[in-house]
């Protein structure tokens, strides 16, 4: 979140899960029914409530303080149908899918500092880059 233009000096909050001890980066499991995929595979809807996260306004500074917070959000990807293929044999990954649109609505709360925030409705947001599809990587890449 930014007060003013989206540049690092204006960042006042940064919400994300902690990095796992394994190094897994800002990844959390999605509970049952959190992800809905349309029968044609063209729309992904992700909804999660009260996800434990941290607020690190000075991320990525190493000494950035992390304050416990929680996040509720809904995110919708819709395929545009335009095919996309990304593959890098040196990194052992292959993605085959389509470009997409993605919109988000969210609310966050940092109880210890009495801060909360709620986004405008889903259809008022937009992302400049989105894709969806199928991927293999690592040990599955050569199989």
Nearer to other proteins, 48 or 66 (CB): 48
Kindly identify the residues of this chain, within the stretch 14-53, that bind other proteins according to CB under 8 A: 16-17, 19-20, 22-30, 34-35, 37, 41, 44, 46, 48, 51, 53
Q: Which long-range contacts (CB under 8 A, 24 or more apart) does 128-133 make?
A: 130/77, 130/99, 130/100, 130/101, 130/102, 131/84, 131/95, 131/97, 131/98, 131/99, 131/100, 132/42, 132/44, 132/77, 132/79, 132/97, 132/98, 132/100, 133/84, 133/95, 133/96, 133/97, 133/98
Q: Applying CB under 8 A, does 113 fall inside the site for other proteins?
A: no
Interface residues with other proteins (CB under 8 A) are 1-3, 6, 11-12, 16-17, 19-20, 22-30, 34-35, 37, 41, 44, 46, 48, 51, 53, 60, 71, 73, 75, 77, 84, 86, 88, 91, 93, 95, 97, 100, 102, 104, 106-107, 114-120, 124-140
């Amino acid at each position: 979140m930014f007060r003013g233009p989206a540049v690092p000096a204006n960042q006042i909050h940064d919400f994300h899960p902690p990095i796992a001890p394994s190094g897994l980066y800002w990844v959390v499991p999605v509970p049952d029914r959190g992800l809905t995929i349309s029968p044609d595979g063209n729309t992904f809807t992700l909804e999660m409530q009260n996800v434990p996260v941290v607020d690190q306004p000075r991320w990525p500074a190493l000494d950035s303080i992390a304050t416990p917070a929680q996040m509720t959000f809904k995110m919708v990807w819709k395929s545009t149908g335009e095919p996309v293929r990304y593959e890098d044999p040196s990194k052992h990954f292959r993605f085959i899918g389509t470009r997409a649109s993605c919109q988000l609505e969210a609310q966050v709360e940092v109880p210890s500092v009495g801060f909360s925030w709620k986004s405008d409705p889903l259809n008022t947001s937009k992302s400049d880059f989105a894709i969806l599809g199928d991927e293999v990587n690592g040990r599955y890449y050569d199989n």
